[in-house]
Amino acid sequence: MSNFVGTITSQIKVLNLAPLIRFELTSQQGAKVNCLIHQHALNFLALASKNMHIAVFGHYNRRHQFVVTRYMMRSSDITKKESQSA
16-34, pLDDT tens digit by residue? 988 999 999 999 999 999 9
Q: What is the value of pTM for the model shown?
A: 0.83
- Please give the pLDDT value at position 1: 85
Residue 79 CA from chain centroid, whole number: 17
Q: Please determine, looking at this structure, whether the domain spanning 2-77 carries the CATH number 3.10.20.30.
A: no
Average pLDDT of span 58-70: 95
Q: What percent of the chain is predicted at pLDDT more than 90?
A: 71
Q: Which burial class, exposed, middle or buried, applies to 26 when counting CB atoms under 10 A from its CB (0-12, 13-18, 19+)?
A: middle
Q: Give the C-alpha distances (Å, rounded to integers) separating 79 from 4, 19, 51.
A: 22, 25, 14
Domain boundaries, the chain: 2-77
Q: List, in sequence order, every residue forming a beta bridge with 18; answer none if it has no partner.
A: none
